[in-house]
Each structure stands twice: as structure tokens, then as C-alpha cells.
Structure 1
């Protein structure tokens, strides 16, 4: 029996900058950073803490006294990796690694590791590689000695210093060009697939939301698909698409997308734009929110910002799906349901228990095809074409033959009624 791979012991730090007017509430931010770390199967989080700073130190981020204090705690915990939940300059990263004698990753580096671990499709893998190379390129001031040691005889000539950094940059730029060519081919193939799908008359419904809001759990419940829906951040990275027949409504293509997250590094938004392009082409967007989370409003604002950055117009039909109402206490649950009732675009549900899903699906069907109503039609025997059309549309509730022809009860939309009249 194979031994389980030893996990890397990680310590998570959330720097709370008092000078930053847009800083997030420190407690939930640290929790999210720990969840990010736990999303990597090779990490074992052995400690975490909030570090309050008046202002960032240019060379070390933290003051020298705090650096020494943290060094002791990291050493006592026998941590091998420190995750700093925020941006680190290459100089700060190099200096802290020297001081603490451990590997250090900032928030962008950690998210890239998770993306790399999760990406499943060819496109996702290519985009992760490109984002990682772009990030690495900015850190060559720190990395050249490390790169030179590792590369040995791979044809990189020149000694250390500026020459080596330039050689590394050139190598990265050449690799980026190669990856971009491959990505263009993959995207072209996807465009062809999308064009083929556009001929299928199924509307696209895209699930979007903050990471861990329960999108994959909802997707699985609606489609019966086995998409990874673990309680971890970024459980889904590549859009997963399935056909779903709405009750008493049309068939739709449901698309589950990567979770959004606050302070998502800009290079990652750009790298994953194509992954999220299904959202741009969606007929209806379902914004899934974890309504039980204490920062649900801030998370919703982050999602709105990223959708705007992606170019999703304000006029795109969108419902808010308030998920996890089963995790609220009785008062909170009743308050959320009462608030949702005042807005026709908000639907409280539990993807886990199924509560509220029938109302949501009815609303989706109505939004996509219009409200349905019942009608009685009288057709003569000569009306074969109209009768065949009704069967094609699957709107017939009952049919009785009479002496003159047929009496047919239908349930249809205004649009179908108009098309029938024009036959």
C-alpha cells in the first residue's frame, strides 16, 4: 500500500492595513484565506493569524519587531510555507524568505497554485500556465539565482545579474507566445462548438457567484451531474455544461462557472475571461449567494464588479438566488424570505434540501419563454398541419375527436399562440 504523500505545513497570515480605507473585515478575510489554503490538498494549515499594521514596510511588509516575533511562532509550529493573504512585492518576498527561512507565497501565488491544481480542460490548463508565467515574469528580480541553479544545462547562458534576468524574461516571453498560439486554437474549436450549439434552440442559463456559494451543489441537484461540490474554495474551475428540462418549461443548457473572489488578481480575471465567456452569451444569469455568510453583501458586490469587468451588461436578465437558507436560524430565515418576497428577482433556496427550487425553476421558465396559459382549440380534419405543429411543440394536454375534427386542450405561451394563429 502506498504511503500518503506528506503534506507541507503552512502558516497563514492576513495583514490588516489600517491605512487602507477599503480593507476587508479581518476575521472573515482570514477565514477565507485559510479556506483558500485548504483548497490545496498538499497543504496542512498549522496556524493562522491577523497581523495589524499601521502602514506596510517597503522592504519587509511587517516591521522588524513583528518579523522577529512571527519568525519565532513559525519556527515553533515547524511551518515550511507562509501564505501572506495580500500582495507582496518581489523584494518583500525575497527578504521575508531570508528572514524566516521558509518558502513564501502571496495571495496571487496561492490562487495560481489552486487554479493549476483544479484546471481540467485544455483551455483551463493553458490559461493557468499563461497567468503563472506572467506572474513569474514580474518576480524575476527575486528568482534569477534560483532559476540559474535549477536550469543547469538547458541552454541558458550568461552569468547572474541583469543578463540572466533578461534571458529568463526572454524564455518566458517565448513560452507565452507559444501558449497563446495553442490557446487561440482551443478557443477557435470552442467557438465552433458554440456555433453548433447556437443552432440547438436551447437557452443558456449561467450560474455565477462568489466561490463556495453552493453553485456546484445547485448544479448537481438540477442536472444529476457529478460535479465536484466540496466545501472548499474554487472547487469548480472550468465551466461544466448540461442540458436540463425545466418542469413545465423549455429545455435549457445550465452552465456552472468558476467562483469569483474578492481581490482576484487582474491577470487572473484576464486569463479566465474565455472560461467565463459562457456567461457573456447566457440568456439568463443566476447569481448564487451564500445568504448565511456574514459578508454576503460584500461578496455580492465583488461578483457585480467582476461581471462588469467582464462586460456583462446591466440589462442582462439576472436573478439572485439566496442559497443556504437552511443554515440560517429561524428568525434569520424568516427575515431573508420576507426580504426576498419584496423583490421579484430574488429567490431564497437551499440547494442541499431542495427547498424553494420549484419556485425558482418556474421563474426561470417564465423568464425564458413567457408565462403559460391553457386554451381550447377546435380543429377540422383538414387542419392536419396545425395539429402536427401542436404535437411538435409538446403543448397538448388532451385531445378528443368530434364529428367535425378535434377538440384540443393546450398549455402554451403567448408567443406560441401567435405562431399557431399565423399557420
Structure 2
């Protein structure tokens, strides 16, 4: 990896590595890492897992497992090794020297996918900021050209140190410029939100784990043509459309936001603050869940963690369990509408299939009821005397 943009890769063979540190969300099959790799244009050719109480300080997996990884990579012709956990700069450097291959982690893989998928000006700025912040932590130990230190005994400095300082300053300045440009975009979004607020528009944001079907549901509700595919991070840029909910309610604003994922890099959460602000300022969150995924409880928990991190934990939610058509017959829900325990609170839940259209009518009815109730609240807030009249 260099300071240049991430290179495009086409079906390069890679070896996947996961370390079980006793955490409940460990993916023993490395299924999600494999999907991330495929999304980035890579081809997983082998998978290795290890179990440790704690990461090895030097090689993360220990020397014995590192030897096993090297032999397996040679056997399968892998040209890169991907770890399902985040690696420190020192661990990454040591592993590359030990394996003789490029080594990257889950964080870089997600950043690479975002760099490939961002389309809007804002999205590209956000990815660039996250990328620069990631690179800034790997300046001293990551690149060999920064290790050329010169000078006499007991003397630190020389061309190498100057190069390090130069790269630090260049990245620091680039981060500052990108933040300033993002701040302008955020101001523009704020102006657009204030305009919606003046129109007293009811704002709904779609949130959920990546590949839960948010964009497919968005298209089904508003008859839009937002990009949707059965892959991770199919949509990165926020798209907002008007959703008509019938007479008496009119139209509401519906936004499709970027999907969340386990161990989403903090740099991306920070960098995408402008985009995720749509969720923070929403009147209602449609939390879309892949009902056919047996790991949906953990995915819900991950989404809740990110919502809390961006300040959207208190926004009312409606759970939409999507992909009902893919749920096995023996596990089909008895009721299509019920409640689900979310952080100790019973939250309304509706089962739908965005692909077939099943459940969309009850969902629209529920959204219309929420929008109408909100309109009554705003009316009473403007004229409290009406409360006595309505009672």
C-alpha cells in the first residue's frame, strides 16, 4: 500500500484469516470477510482460523500459525492475506516480512470498497478523509522508504526523518483540506434540512446492516431506481425521495443511507457523519433487518451501537424484517405485525418482502399513522389551546 489511491484489483487470489479471541460475534466460517473480499474484486482461495486468548504483539497470530499461513498461501497461489480483525501498523509490517506477501486487515478492505463505490462528491470526500486518517497511523512503520535513517552513532535524523516529517505534514494538510470541504457540504445539507423543516416534512431514514435490502425496499416504496444488488455496501450515497402516503397525510421524505457492518472503522463513522446526519435528524428510523439471516440479532445489535455512536439512539424506530420470501417455511412468522425487544423496549415490527411486495401495504399504513400523529403533535405544539378542544 502506498500514498496513492487504492489500486483496482480483479479477482486476485487471497487467503482469509480469522482469530477467535472469545468474542461472541466471531465468524468461524469467515463468511462476511469472504463477501467483503468478493465485493472488493478479490477471490478467496483458502480460509484459516486460530484461537487465542489475546493477539500476539508481534504477529497477531503467533509464529507457528504465521508459518502455517505462509505455506497455505504458497500452496493456493494467494497474492495477499486478509485478516478479519484490525492489525496494528507493527503487526502488519511484521506479518508482511514473515509471510513475504502483502497483508491487509478488515479496516482497509472496507475502506477500499468504499473508495470503489463512492459516486457523489460528498461520498468521495468522506472516503478520502477516512483513507487519509487510516494512512496517518501507518507512516512510521508501514513503508520501507521511511525507514532509511542516516546519521552517526547516537544521532537521530537525516533524510529519513525529514521524509517522515514531510509525509506527516502532507497528510495532515490533506486531512485539514478535506475536513473543510466536508464542512461546507454539511452546511449545505443543514440548509436543505431546514428547508424541509419549514415545510413541516415528516422525515424517515432507512438504516440497517449492509445487504439487508434497504435500497430494494426504498425502490419499492418510492418507485425509484436507486442501485440495489445482493452484495455488501451496494449503496454508499444518501438518496432522498418523496413518499406519498395518501390523502390526509400527503408526502413524507424518505432517505436511504449507507449500510452498517460489524467493526465499522471509527474513521468511517466520523467521516460519514454528514451522510449519517440524515438518520440523526429523522423523525422515524426504518430499521431494515434481513429476516432470512440467522445472525440477525447480532446485526441488529451492531446497528444499534452505530446509531448510539452517531447520536441517533433516541430517534423512534420501526423494525422492518425484510426478505420474508427467503425465510424457510418452517420458520415463517405466525404474525406479520408484532413487537420486538430492542434495548429493553418493545418496538413495532413488520415483516415484508421488498422483492415480492408482500407486507408493503401494512408498512405504508403504519408510516401514514406515524406521520399523521406527528402532524397532530406539531399542531398542538403551535396552538396548545386545541388540546382541550380535541379532548
* Residues 337 and 350 in structure 2, CA contact (< 8 A), matched pair in contact too: no
CA distance 1:147–1:211, shift in 2 (3 Å): farther
Q: Is 1:252–2:252 an aligned residue pair?
A: yes
Equivalent of 1:368 in 363, 367, 371: 371
- Which deviations, in whole Å up to 9, do the C-alpha atoms of 1:211-264 show, x marking residues without a partner? 111101101111222222111111111111111212454211110011111111
* Residues 209 and 289 in structure 2, CA contact (< 8 A), matched pair in contact too: yes
Computing the radius of gyration from Cα coordinates, the structure with the larger value is 1
Q: How do 1:251-290 residues align onto structure 2 when only pairs under 5 Å count?
A: 251-290=251-290
CA distance 1:236–1:158, shift in 2 (3 Å): farther
Q: Which SS does the other structure have where 2:123 is aligned? A: helix
CA distance in structure 1 between the partners assigned to 2:78 and 2:300 by the alignment: 34
Tell me, which stretches of 5 or more residues in structure 2 are unaligned? 1-7, 149-156, 376-382
Deviation at 1:299, TM superposition (A): 0.8
Deviation at 1:108, TM superposition (A): 1.0
What residue in structure 1 maps to residue 293 of structure 2? 293
Tell me, which stretches of 5 or more residues in structure 1 are unaligned? 150-156, 373-414
Q: Which SS does the other structure have where 1:345 is aligned? A: strand
Q: Is 1:173–2:172 an aligned residue pair?
A: yes
- Number of positions where the alignment pairs a residue of Structure 1 with one of Structure 2: 360
* Residues 234 and 259 in structure 1, CA contact (< 8 A), matched pair in contact too: yes
What residue in structure 1 maps to residue 12 of structure 2? 8
CA distance 1:233–1:26, shift in 2 (3 Å): same
Equivalent of 2:357 in 354, 357, 369: 354
What residue in structure 2 maps to residue 200 of structure 1? 199
* Residues 337 and 348 in structure 1, CA contact (< 8 A), matched pair in contact too: yes
- How large is the Cα RMSD of the aligned pairs? 2.7
CA distance in structure 2 between the partners assigned to 1:238 and 1:51 by the alignment: 36
Q: How do 1:45-84 residues align onto structure 2 when only pairs under 5 Å count?
A: 45-84=44-83
Q: Which SS does the other structure have where 1:180 is aligned? A: helix
CA distance in structure 2 between the partners assigned to 1:355 and 1:11 by the alignment: 40
- Which deviations, in whole Å up to 9, do the C-alpha atoms of 1:368-404 show, x marking residues without a partner? 11499xxxxxxxxxxxxxxxxxxxxxxxxxxxxxxxx
Q: How do 1:22-421 residues align onto structure 2 when only pairs under 5 Å count?
A: 22-27=23-28, 30-41=30-41, 43-146=42-145, 159-160=159-160, 162-248=161-247, 249-314=249-314, 316-335=315-334, 337=336, 340=339, 345-370=348-373
Q: Which moved more, 1:164-173 or 1:66-75?
A: 164-173
* Residues 203 and 284 in structure 2, CA contact (< 8 A), matched pair in contact too: yes
CA distance 1:107–1:341, shift in 2 (3 Å): closer
